[in-house]
Amino acid sequence: MADEQPAKSATALLVLGCPQVPVQTSIALYLINRLKKAGITPVVAGNKAANTLLVVADQDRHYLGEVIDLDRAIGLITDGKRTFDFCFVFIHNDAGVSYAATLGAISQAKLYGLVYGEHFEDQAKKIDFPCTVIAAKAVHNPLPLKKAIDEVAPWAA
């Protein structure tokens, strides 16, 4: 019997922002599904409200896997206890840009910034660090951001 270990599947961290912009929860579930279909294990990190919106919407965990507190995730990565291959940061305000810059500094993951909301262009301009920006004016309707994500197809990278 061969003693080769099975290849470890790739992992992706989805860093949620404030859930005040409705498209976030929808796009998170969409991206989770696309990543899983591509064999990438998604982990969600957000504040209590953002995580709870997902957990309640997916009671039987058809889509969601591991869900962790955002501050805890930052600590685990900073301390070298967790690593990810991909990191998707949801950005619609200044805090989102700050979290993306932080993930870019503390993690070796390929970084994607999902920029949306009413003022998405203003936020996208602040991103002056290595990051693949996927941006669309999406507030209530997730389709513009879904389309932008599909064009990049990060799950196929």
Which chain residues interact with other proteins by CB under 8 A? 16-18, 20, 46-47, 49-50, 70-71, 74-75, 77-78, 93-99, 101-102, 105-106, 126, 128-129
Q: What is the C-alpha to C-alpha distance for residues 10 and 77, in angstroms, rounded to an integer?
A: 16
The least distance separating other proteins from the CB of residue 113, rounded to whole angstroms, comes to: 13
The least distance separating other proteins from the CB of residue 50, rounded to whole angstroms, comes to: 7
77 vs 133, which CB is nearer to other proteins?
A: 77
28 vs 101, which CB is nearer to other proteins?
A: 101
Q: What is the C-alpha to C-alpha distance for residues 63 and 29, in angstroms, rounded to an integer?
A: 7
The least distance separating other proteins from the CB of residue 97, rounded to whole angstroms, comes to: 7
- The residues near 50 (Cβ < 8 Å, ≥ 6 apart) are 16, 17, 18, 19, 24, 25, 70
